[in-house]
Structure 1
């Protein structure tokens, strides 16, 4: 397959204004109609309307709605107006029926075709950002490609021998970096204001297994674009935070301070009683939590309990900074591959500085665990989460720290079905009792890196057993699982648990390959 290399990325501020009609999010496109549909809960899930496709010109729809609003008739139905003017979205697996006689691996291999999307065509009136290559969507309400999901999906594609799709996904993310200056949360107009955990450099590691180290040179431009975005060099983002001694660490920071379009009513209601300044900060933190992928968790709450105290932008996340360390190491590798030893050495030095800063600011010597850093409080967060294992996943933690860390994993996080996300049961989906495939994977691999193979194997075994058990009971692969009560599936959050499901499929396939049942 011919690999596509793209030009340097353009700033987000330019991207959002270029090709305006193609990138205007639905709240701006439909104005009062959008607000009325979302606030009146015409659809149970706010994501449904923003994924609809207009049957005719959005401007004409808005014009007609404005006239109706000025002189409404007694029999006017907003729901019917929407149905008359928009095509409703379908979930990728709506028409798929599980073969209950198939084993879980066969089921997943069949699901790759169900979750596959062919290269997109531009569709007028759609919020979808068209991609040039085929891709895999997670499933359920998630009808588009998602950034960090895709890395874990790729693990399963690798285990399934679907290597062409891995390259397609990498090329799609390269294209997004070229087109918009960053990889959006997903390929929708309403996701353009943020990214997600930056796994692009790890995706290149997967591709390099197939195509060799030349990929680091070939994808140098999108790699650099990714880094420039996160380091505030190509857009008016505020991801970078300077520490008192000049060290640089990063945070999640969505570009908007408005309600999320796909969860508009929920966000408006959460901000209803706050003053304007608090409301805007709350909206940005809700959006920034979506950029983190952990939407939502007490990890981001000031009081550790209530979502109304969310302050995502006030934390320097340990996992984000480890990902950026890997990106810096990969950039060094890329410039070395193209003979630019000066830049290669520069990025090695930058990575080492970040590694030192992570081990200085994000480590608690008292208990031996890594935490997020509270910027305003100038201290470590008091929220212990499984994200604290990521310095071991990226092999940047000193070797002597593994003993205490492994003890914490075993005593606090290990449950009957795998490792739990946090130690708080709040009703939020990224808290206890839930476990998530990407976090299981990083915990397992982090422990393996430091020789804790028995504990890694135990986590893998428990997670595999739980996934298979739920599959046998339901015929489905779930977005998340209840690892504390293995007779349940999972719960919590602002939307029902989804089935499909890309990253669960990916991690399970790879783990079953590495930890086969005797």
Structure 2
């Protein structure tokens, strides 16, 4: 019987060991350590995966040389950055085994996951009871937050969740009636401050036309406006009290402020440490400025820092911010419109006058004609701050910018804030989460709506396209919708006091609203 051919080969190799070794060297493929070299070593030494075999078995999503070139270019330094890099470029066992629903479908699936039932407050708990259902942002944020909720509600409306939109509006109206304002979030430790006032815009999302309810909502809007303007009655020689600032010509604008000057309950240790670094500045001043930045929603950002690289130089209460004053202009106009619809001409006239005076003050102090931009204003330095941020798009969103101002802001946005994956928050890399390279869902929407209002539709849609692609790409890689994103590298965002959160209410809402407006954005394959 003739032996099979492979037996002859084995006999020959046994007789010729040197030739066998040569053939083996020529045919054995390189191991992952051979292929990926420094990347492989970095991942294993950082223990990105508890089991070293996990990365050794990972499947590349693209050519290994392209992956190594990206590694050399990005230079991920820490474990979190390495983990994000690996998940972008490799399919990892146990993380890619289940098919993900399309992004739009996943957002719809998450509404009931993030939804919560009404509840009564428990003695000793920080949670404030609510009488209607609501949606939370997700992850560590298991209560409703004021300005987050507006952007969440955009998605709820797009997805046909009108009853839940009405329930959330009812909760916010009730909070105003109970506390005189909408707190930062529904915890007792948030009651000393609010957040950017979007209640007037929330009411625009409602389809309810009951006259009695309209009257109650108008009363709530007026009461909220009073909360922001209460400091007008106690202005002293320093020119500021509570949320109100007297400008050099005597006009009144607003700032972020907090009624307490102690460390925040939710960041007690961090605030004490920051205040200690700020000596000889008074601890109470620093702590109030930290709280005021939390009220802004931009906690934290170089917008509020004298030295953009040092959090302890925070001086939020010295700054008259463009976003807050644009939102209060909206509030004053909505009050006037609602009052006139209810036949209250005196109230309508009064608030129209307030809005007119606010716009004049904004144009005088917060528009920098020589630089063709809107800006925050430093009341101590008595000039506009140098900070360039996405906040300067709020006048376009509100609708009080002139056509010339809008064209200038559009050009600035295109030149300085547009990243590969969406709109940058600022142009400064400070390590704070409300700075570059991060982009945030609410600011994408503010930009898209504002630019669209003034006929800058190509730029508006381009921002939306870049943002949706970033969200879709990260979702494809991680299965998550995140609080913030790095819009330069199109990956999960970083910085801040806590890890990037998953959920995520306002990302879901803004992305759903954009896809509802431009369904073709969802057809693009994430790159």
TM-score (norm 2): 0.77
* Cα distance between partner residues in 2 of 1:315 and 1:404: 23
Cross-structure match for 1:119: 118
Measured in 2, the distance between the counterparts of 1:322 and 1:389 equals 10
- Paired residue for 2:150? 151
Cα pair 1:416 1:462 within 8 Å, conserved:
yes
Check 1:234–1:187 CA distance in 2 against 1; reply closer, same or farther (3 A cut). farther
Match of 2:238 in 1: none
| 1:105 shift after superposition | 1.2
Deviations 1:169-201 (A, max 9, x none): 111011111111110100101111100000000
Partner of 1:243: 247
Which string of whole-angstrom CA distances, capped at 9 and with x for unpartnered residues, describes residues 155-182 of structure 1?
0000000000111111101111111111
Are 2:510 and 1:507 equivalent residues in the alignment? yes
Mapped to 2, the partners of 1:462 and 1:497 lie a distance apart of: 20
Please give the secondary structure, in 1, of the residue aligned with 2:121: coil
Q: SS state of the match for residue 435, structure 1?
A: strand
In structure 2, relative to structure 1, the CA distance for the partners of 1:113 and 1:257 (3 Å cut) is same
Alignment-derived partner of residue 231 in structure 1: 229
CA distance, structure 2, for counterparts of residue 218 and residue 511 of structure 1: 32
Alpha-carbon shift at residue 302 of structure 1 (Å): 1.1
Q: Deviations over 1:99-122 (max 9, x none)?
A: 743111111111110111100123
Shift of 1:152: 0.2
- Write out per-residue CA displacement over residues 311-334 of structure 1, whole angstroms, 9 at most, x where no aligned residue: 000000000000000000011012
Q: CA deviation at 1:266?
A: 0.6
- Report the counterpart of residue 66 of structure 2 in structure 1: none
2:245 is paired with a residue of what secondary structure? strand
**Structure label with greater radius of gyration:** 2
1:160 aligns with: 159
Which digits, 9 at most, give the CA deviation of each residue in 1:481-515, with x for residues without a partner? 000011x2110011000010000000000000111
Residues 322, 391 of structure 2: 8 Å contact kept: yes
Q: Is 1:292 matched with 2:296? A: yes
**Counterpart position of 1:197:** 196
- 1:491 equivalent in alignment to 2:494: yes
Q: Distance in 1 between matches of 2:103 and 2:233?
A: 44
Separation (CA, whole Å) in 2 of partners of 1:327 and 1:203? 11
* C-alpha deviation, 1:305, in angstroms: 2.3
Distance 1:476 1:357, change over 3 A: same
2:262 aligns with 258
Measured at CA, do residues 123 and 455 of structure 1 come closer, stay the same or move farther in structure 2, by a change above 3 Å?
same
1:183 aligns with 2:187: no
User: Matched residues in 1 for 2:286 and 2:325: separation?
Assistant: 23
Please list every run of 5 or more consecutive structure 1 residues that lacks an aligned counterpart in the other structure.
Answer: 1-96
The alignment yields a C-alpha RMSD, in angstroms, of 1.8
Counterpart of 1:231 in 2: which secondary structure? Answer: helix
Change (3 A) 1:187 1:98: farther
Higher helix proportion (structure 1 or 2)? 2
Aligned 8 A contact 1:204 1:216 in 2: no
Contact 1:182 1:229 in 2 (8 A): yes
Cα distance between partner residues in 1 of 2:411 and 2:443: 17
Distance 1:275 1:408, change over 3 A: closer
Match of 1:368 in 2: 372
What is residue 351 of structure 2 aligned with on the other side?
A: 347
Counterpart residue number, 1:131: 130
Structure 1 equivalent of residue 462 of structure 2? 458
The alignment covers a number of residue pairs equal to 419
- Rounded to whole Å, the distance in 1 between the matches of 2:292 and 2:250 is 24
Contact 1:98 1:475 in 2 (8 A): no
Give the 3 Å change call, closer, same or farther, for CA 102–302 of structure 1 in structure 2. same
After superposition, where does 1:55-134 map in structure 2 within 5 Å?
100-134=99-133
| Aligned-partner Cα distance in 1 for 2:405–2:229 | 29
Q: What's the offset of the Cα at 1:395?
A: 0.9
> 1:322 is matched with which residue: 312, 321, 326?
326
SS at 1:272 equivalent: helix
**More RCO (CA 8 Å, sep 6+):** 1
Whether the aligned pair in 2 keeps the contact of 1:99 and 1:107 (CA below 8 Å) is: no
Runs of 5+ unmatched residues, structure 2: 1-95, 235-240
CA 1:197–1:360: 2 relative to 1, 3 Å: same
